[in-house]
Amino acid sequence: MKSSILRQLVILPLLTACMALLYACSGQLGRAAGTPPPLPITREVVLTQGASIALGSMASPNAASEGAPVVQLKLERVNDSRCRKGMVCVWAGYISYSFVLTGTDGSTSQFVLSDNMPNARPSITEQGWTITLTGLEPQAAPAKDEITPNYRVSLRVSNAPSS
């Protein structure tokens, strides 16, 4: 009887210590050893048609120069079907923006953002990044005989977990 109580007094603290160690290590699962979790980032960016930005370099300015894979966001094209000034149109039209997000593993996500296009949203979360439209220059539709402007699309990009 004395040995079973003694055994319980030794085994219980060891079992508790092992459980605490497993719990503490579980936060490191999915990350390489010694790699800190990414810092939450929220940043305003401006893209023109065909331009891209390395989102990973927002977290670590040296990531791209160190050869580390980074997430790339590219504005593929601006789709402007709004009625031009000086024209008579059946409908007002809309403006939308087509993006490609390329992950560190080479996987891509294609999506469209718009403030007023049917079945489109002004914000989306893809591959852990939330991308939200915040502005457009120029805002007005071009005139009837004017060439299509070089649009500048403003975005808020964040990898912070949504709360």
Domain segments of the chain as ranges:
1-29, 41-158
Averaged confidence pLDDT in the chain: 79
DSSP state of 89: -
Q: What is the pLDDT of residues 77-118, one digit of tens each?
A: 999 999 998 899 998 889 999 999 998 888 899 999 999 888
Q: Is the pLDDT assigned to residue 128 strictly greater than 90?
A: no
DSSP state of 121: B
Task: State the virtual CA torsion across 100, 101, 102, 105 in degrees, nearest 10.
Answer: -140
Give the model's pLDDT for residue 45.
93
140 falls in which pLDDT band (50, 70, 90)? confident
Q: What is the pLDDT of residues 30-44, one digit of tens each?
A: 445 555 555 677 889
CA atoms in the 13 A half-sphere facing the CB of 31? 10
Give Cα 12 to chain centroid, integer Å.
Answer: 46
